[in-house]
């Protein structure tokens, strides 16, 4: 019988989001505490976590270090979440790890969540493979996230903070900042992006209490098409580097990554400027302002699953000087639909609304009503039964730029099932 990752993880699916560290701490202890064997770079934030992790792991791999990376969610396949030296974990190896983790669970106690099982598998894999370092992305929040079990990370990063997952993290940006800053550890350096004032106050206060050296780098400065310049923290030196990921926000994300790498250099890690240039150039992060095609037509895809990400996407498409835009969108029921529409939609845009398969998808009729209330001057607004029929209709009726967005799960469905 062929065992799949899905079938192994399915028993834990119904536990959903259940923040807390007690279950993961017990589970890792039963596995021999593999996380204690792995030097860690820990990355939290509302947006930008994934691309910062991608930059850092690509450069460290280029510098010759055996580099693990753990991120979430995946787009198409579970194996995207765990990699070493930019190579995805083998499916059979992943299945074996999950079996090892399941064997360590004491089912007389509270069961771990699906995310905790996968996180334990990642720590186990990195320890078994003797990585030099693991770049680990927080799943949700920070303080009570299953990744927050490392007591002395090499460096922590907080990329950005805005109002998302407020149902779990608290109603205000201040509450959310307190949760994300929970990854800070006494004396461990932290790199922080540009934050709202109330979030910055929370983070800075905690760095003082914990005596964390704080670095807030300036965004990279654009110097040519797809090239930028980074001002070093400790000297007047500059680094010129390629910037393969699209959107102005990557000037900030890349600078956060380079600041973290500079801290590692100060700790004695050998990371040459050549490794930085080559590693940045090779960085890939699918599903975020990614150009692809649909039946030979050019298509832009981006998750844009919260208002801050939607603003970044709109800024990017506006920079392309396109007359009108056609949006193909699906969103989860839990998202801030009105704020996302407010950020994305403008007069004359066309909107094709679709469900997000196998997820808690928002009601399409409600989305349509809300979109027309938010932007009454849309050129077109209708619902479609699936993303593929909507794309066919969109490309048939327009020469505009077509953008597929609203949910990473929708993008994963598209990428995994397109012809």
Q: Tell me the pLDDT tens digit for each residue of 196-233.
A: 999 999 999 999 999 999 999 999 999 999 999 999 99
pLDDT-based confidence at residue 305 (cuts at 50, 70, 90): confident
* Each residue's pLDDT tens digit, 67-123: 999 999 999 999 999 999 999 999 999 999 999 999 999 888 889 999 999 999 999
Indicate if the pLDDT at residue 321 is higher than 90: no
pLDDT-based confidence at residue 15 (cuts at 50, 70, 90): low
Specify the pLDDT at position 1.
Answer: 46
Specify the pLDDT at position 97.
Answer: 98
Indicate if the pLDDT at residue 272 is higher than 90: yes
Mean pLDDT of 352-364: 94
Give the number of residues written for the chain: 419
- CB-CB contact of 254 with 220 (8 Å): yes
Nearest to 59 by CA among 330, 261, 224, 319: 261
Place of tokens 């720590």: 123
Mean pLDDT of 275-297: 95
- CA 260 – CA 282 distance, rounded (Å): 18
- CA 364 – CA 319 distance, rounded (Å): 29
The gap between the terminal CA atoms of the chain, to the nearest Å, is: 29
**H helix runs in 288-363, sequence order:** 307-319, 337-344
Mean pLDDT of 11-22: 79
Least confident of 178-187, 360-369, 389-398: 389-398
Indicate if the pLDDT at residue 16 is higher than 70: no
- CA 162 – CA 400 distance, rounded (Å): 31
Domains of the chain: 5-282 (3.40.1190.10), 290-417 (3.90.190.20)
pLDDT-based confidence at residue 340 (cuts at 50, 70, 90): very high
pLDDT-based confidence at residue 141 (cuts at 50, 70, 90): confident
Residues 377-387, buried b or exposed e (16+ Cβ, 10 A)?
ebebbeebeeb
Least confident of 2-16, 21-35, 362-376: 2-16
- CA 416 – CA 253 distance, rounded (Å): 27
When computed from its CA atoms, the radius of gyration of the chain, rounded to whole angstroms, is 21
Indicate if the pLDDT at residue 331 is higher than 50: yes
- CB-CB contact of 161 with 173 (8 Å): yes
Query: What is the model's pTM?
Result: 0.94
Mean pLDDT of 135-153: 94
């Amino acid at each position: 019988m062929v065992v799949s990752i899905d079938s192994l993880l399915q028993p834990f699916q119904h536990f959903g989001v259940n923040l807390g560290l007690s279950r993961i701490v017990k589970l890792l202890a039963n596995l021999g505490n593999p996380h204690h064997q792995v030097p860690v770079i820990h990355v939290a934030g509302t947006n930008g976590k994934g691309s910062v992790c991608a930059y850092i792991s690509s450069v460290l791999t280029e510098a010759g270090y055996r580099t693990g990376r753990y991120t979430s969610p995946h787009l198409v396949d579970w194996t995207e979440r765990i990699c070493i030296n930019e190579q995805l974990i083998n499916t059979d190896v992943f299945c074996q790890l999950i079996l090892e983790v399941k064997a360590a669970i004491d089912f007389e106690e509270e069961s771990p969540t699906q995310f905790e099982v996968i996180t334990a598998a990642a720590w186990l894999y990195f320890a078994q493979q003797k990585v030099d370092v693991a770049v680990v992305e927080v799943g949700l929040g920070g303080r009570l996230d299953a990744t927050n079990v490392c007591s002395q990370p090499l460096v922590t990063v907080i990329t950005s903070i805005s109002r998302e997952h407020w149902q779990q993290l608290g109603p205000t940006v201040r509450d959310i900042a307190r949760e994300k800053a929970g990854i800070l550890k006494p004396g461990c350096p932290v790199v922080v992006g540009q934050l709202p004032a109330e979030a910055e106050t929370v983070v800075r206060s905690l760095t003082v209490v914990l005596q964390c050296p704080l670095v807030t780098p300036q965004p990279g400065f654009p110097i040519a098409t797809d090239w930028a310049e980074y001002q070093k923290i400790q000297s007047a030196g500059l680094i010129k580097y390629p910037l393969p990921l699209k959107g102005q926000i990557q000037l900030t994300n890349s600078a956060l990554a380079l600041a973290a790498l500079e801290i590692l250099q100060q700790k004695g890690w050998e990371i040459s400027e050549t490794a930085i240039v080559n590693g940045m150039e090779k960085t890939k992060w699918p599903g975020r302002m990614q150009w692809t095609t649909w039946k030979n037509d050019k298509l832009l895809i981006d998750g844009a699953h919260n208002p801050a990400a939607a603003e970044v996407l709109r800024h990017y498409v506006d920079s392309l000087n396109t007359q009108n835009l056609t949006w193909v969108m699906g969103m989860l029921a839990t998202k801030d639909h009105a704020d996302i529409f407010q950020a994305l939609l403008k007069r004359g845009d066309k909107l094709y609304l679709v469900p997000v398969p196998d997820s808690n998808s928002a009601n399409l009729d409600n989305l349509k009503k809300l979109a027309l209330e938010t932007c009454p001057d849309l050129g077109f607004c209708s619902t479609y039964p699936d993303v593929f029929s909507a794309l066919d209709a969109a490309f048939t009726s327009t020469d505009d730029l077509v953008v597929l967005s609203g949910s990473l799960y929708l993008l994963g469905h598209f990428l995994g099932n397109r012809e």
